[in-house]
Structure 1
């Protein structure tokens, strides 16, 4: 009897242990490791498109992200954020082991004219013998203007092709910018930040640093800073956002502040009513 009781307890313990491991690895952290010069992404892209209208007052946005590395990796992760007129609309995070491809696809119902922006961080972790770990990363982005006005037919474009679309582009850009500047100004005031001491870059604009270095830095140094930046953003912004129901998700495009003395960077954002400041000291 004691023998059977022992085996039952052992099985229960193993079941609980496996359940615990699976639960706590459901969203593994993105961790920056030294760049792997032997590996690269053969594909890294995000895309926004207009799906068929769902009625007179709504339409669907198709949001996709695709990435492929040149070889299978121990861990592949993609995290994608969608903003609507500067407001966070959705977050998707996917990870897979022993693969080189990741595909994310979502359809979101929306209404009214909007300026949509998406930015995705593609990450790969490579394990070598003797516990040597390296990584690769790349960003991709896309945008889409949607015109949903009672006086015109539904229209969507990425680059305006006529004066009508140019006017809508200017209107949506201006509306989004004004909303974000007001929001960021509140964060600067709350944390007593002197904006003149920093280079301010919206999170949605970071993609330009894939191939353009930060001021007074090499591209290699920039890649390290950006990789470590996303490590912090993933842990402190993306994971909490993923764990929030879309109906309760409240946030705007975070603002990244690069110290002009090249000592550190800050990330300011508000998530679900709470203001946050992340700080990352450079080790370049």
Structure 2
């Protein structure tokens, strides 16, 4: 809860209390009445004083607890939002079971209910799958200043924009689906980058095989094309398609050569050398 909101709520409570007091406060003429009227007036004053004290103490306690939640680092707290829900439920139960309802308890229960409404939507601002561009888009959607680094985000930033979170819940939901889809493609391409560095091939005795790593990676790339979010990675994927196609051809040719009997292989090499020799002579002449 930000300072402006707290001041507004406090002023509202103060105005309501003042209106009720002006209506119920004893008149000066009561001092000239009998003792029973004076005693009743004193009782009314004490009752209103007690109500005011309860109002301030309850609100102070609630605000202090909310401030503690607000200071939680979002990157850590986003997986523990159930604690906030438990806090709201405990406070609601406490107020509802605290005897007869008063304007104070009704007002506080209404505020608690406002916070409860954002609980189901908080999962859309967790950001587990977000890249930098997704964070920027979320900031713009709900009104968090772009100057706030992700690592400095607190739960309080989201409490301050709870109304915008509710208003933009569908857009935030779509953003999460998009981020989840893109992270699968990004991870697959990152695995290919790692494989490019680590992959090693060695000659082994020839045998027929039903598949290889290259084919597996080609199948993976083909499956990525079915994603609705493939477009943003198509250029990078096409580069890998060409690389794998070339490598597959080279390995197939090498496998073919390896499968030939040595005598036939040497004859082919000798024939190619003779052709090359005559070609060189032709060029010289």
User: For the superposition of Structure 1 and Structure 2, which TM-score range results when normalised by the shorter chain?
Assistant: under 0.3
Normalising by the residue count of structure 1, what TM-score does the alignment of the two structures yield? 0.18
Point out the structure with max Rg over C-alpha: 2
Flag the structure with higher strand content. 1
Higher share of residues assigned helix: 2
